[in-house]
Amino acid sequence: MRSEEPFSRRLFLGGAAICLAVPRVAATQDAASYGLTALLDGSALARIPAGEFVMGSQAGDADEQPTHRVRITRPFEMGKFEVTQAQWETVITDPHARAGADRLALAGLALSVTPSYFKGPLLPVENVSWDDVQVFLKRLNARDRTHTYRLPTEAEWEYGCKAGTAGDDAARLAEKAWYKDNSGALTHPVGQKEPNVWGLYDMQGNVAEWVQDWYGHDYYAESPATDPPGPDSGSYRVFRGGFWLDPAKYCGATVRRFDFPVNRHDNVGFRVVRTARVPDG
């Protein structure tokens, strides 16, 4: 059984995972496909249909059980790619944003325009806390009056990752994910591996991804069957998916990890979900 201890203590004690040379990665892809415009015009988003799936794994850790059927009642759009450093920098430096409206004092640290350990505009942004991501989302939402951008729920993330399948195709992991066996111990530009059948890239590797939910070890035993939102409160936020230094067993669609929402890691980023904004009044 996994100890309910913050991720930073479980995997980063002593800093062994971050003592690596930082490469400068060339922008080898079409930047227009991974910039802010691609989010706002929807070209970097995949439409995910409503439907049902079995969440969790009987073969997984205790917090992945019991398996239970979940219904996602409304279609939504999910980022095809993890949010890139180019997108992060553009949104965070938005001159129209008002710092007073999104200032967060929880961590006592300034929000960085270039926070990532591995540098490159088309690499996924990482080294951002859950709280940092909320600032990004507030500023992104200020740019689009017809949509709301947010993190996916745990259920939406797993539903998107499984993409209508019963579970993971471990034999094809190297074709879909950057992980310990093929990453070279660094992140890679988004969208280089094969997408799943719903058009989502890097769901199981490159960087892990913050989701909306508070973490609850036993939440699956009481989770609602329809659009589960996660626990009402908690100490930790959840992140999903494997990352560049993970062995294959931690890259599965059902693996759950968590940490305090103020903490930052060089292997945790995020992707967005977009829904139509309900008109005021």
Domain with 81 in it: what CATH number? 3.90.1580.10
Report, as an integer, the average pLDDT of 211-234.
Answer: 97
Q: pLDDT tens across 135-158, in order?
A: 999 999 999 999 999 999 999 999
User: What is the structure's pLDDT at 116?
Assistant: 97
Q: Residue 261, preceding bond cis, omega within 30 degrees? A: no
The pTM for the full model equals: 0.87
For residue 71, the enclosing domain spans: 7-276
Burial class for 6, CB neighbours closer than 10 Å (0-12, 13-18, 19+) = middle
User: What is the structure's pLDDT at 33?
Assistant: 74
Query: Is the residue at 215 inside a domain?
Result: yes
Burial class for 129, CB neighbours closer than 10 Å (0-12, 13-18, 19+) = buried
CA nearest to 162, candidates 53, 25, 278:
53
Total domains, the chain: 1
Place of tokens 């980022």: 79
User: What is the structure's pLDDT at 165?
Assistant: 84
Determine the residue type at 105.
A
User: What is the structure's pLDDT at 106?
Assistant: 38
| Confidence check: pLDDT of 46 > 80 | yes
Structure tokens at 260: 């305090």
User: What is the structure's pLDDT at 169?
Assistant: 66
